[in-house]
Amino acid sequence: MKEMSLTTPVALQNGTTIPLVGYGTWQTPDGDVARESVKQAIIAGYRHIDTAAVYRNEVSVGEGIREGLAATGLKREDLYVTTKIWCDKKGPHAKEAILESLKRLGLDYVDLLLIHWPIATAEKANDAWKKNNNETWKAMEELVREGKLRSIGLSNFRAHHIEALECEIPPVIDQLEIHPGYIQKETVDYCKEHGIVVEAWSPLGSGRVLGDPFLNEIAAKYGKSVAQLCIRFCLQYGVVPLPKSVHADRIVANTEVFDFEISEEDFNAILAMEQLGFSGNDPDGKLNF
């Protein structure tokens, strides 16, 4: 594991690969902050950028991508870009909504498009979410065939949501909230059994776990920050972390996770930590945002 890097290719079941670490942009404000931080991430070596329609920063993320490419001399194909379709756009008009995302990003294609959330509150009572996800997936499959999407996947889907998906092209990714204190073992195990690579959103628990005394004690043993420990934990857990920061120094610090290894004993102790639960939204429950 020590010889790995941010860009180590992780194989997906459609024959493509995804860079091992991505740069997350959830809660990054639109405008200069998103543009500048995405550019800084590319300069720092990230080759994998993750956004979503509901983050409302796709325009600035797209600008940051162009500025980052200009600053580094890289080409579009050197980057892996993910976006996601939100609940309000799922269903019959999904295709148009996805093309709108591409337009906002200023890209001809994205490497990965995810259904962001399995169930919208209004769909829950009568199982309408199943139809909605299937219609959306069909649109995504068409866009794969049209060359607009390279890969398609899911986010926040549990096993029973995945089981309800009717697909010709199987999902390659499930992006879940994962960090020390929320390891979602059941869903991760299900994905592994079905060849679905798991990505970790909020690998630092959106900052929630950074003050945890137990994690601070472990991180200190390795001369690392808790943020670095959390990212390394994801790598050793076999999931693709998407750390977010809008600060250039942290963007760089969060890449320094390849010069140490968490011992088996410490790794198991982190796995066994008290589970904190999801960050406010249950994929089977009420949607609060």
Task: Give least dist CB 209 to ligand A2P, A.
Answer: 8
Neighbours of 94 (CB within 10 A): 23
> Between residues 144 and 204, which has the closer beta carbon with respect to ligand A2P?
204
Q: Does 203 bind ligand A2P (CB under 6 A)?
A: yes
Task: Give least dist CB 246 to ligand A2P, A.
Answer: 4
- Rounded to the nearest angstrom, the gap between the alpha carbon of residue 63 and the centroid of all alpha carbons in its chain is 20
**Binding-residue total with ligand A2P (CB under 6 A):** 18
Binding mask 27-56 for ligand A2P (x = CB under 6 A): ------------------------------
Binding mask 227-256 for ligand A2P (x = CB under 6 A): x---------------xxxxx--x--xx--
Residues numbered 132 to 171 that lie near ligand A2P (CB under 6 A) are none
End-to-end Cα distance, the chain: 37
The answer to whether residue 80 is catalytic is no
Residue from 23, 46, 55, 237 carrying the catalytic annotation: 55
Q: Does 207 bind ligand A2P (CB under 6 A)?
A: yes
Q: Does 61 bind ligand A2P (CB under 6 A)?
A: no
CB under 8 Å to 204, separation ≥6 — which residues? 179, 210, 226, 227, 230, 231, 243, 244
> Between residues 73 and 211, which has the closer beta carbon with respect to ligand A2P?
211
Q: Is 164 helix (H, G, I), strand (E, B) or coil?
A: coil
Show which residues are catalytic: 55
Q: Which residues of the shown chain bind ligand A2P in the complex (CB under 6 A)?
A: 24, 202-207, 210, 225, 227, 243-247, 250, 253-254
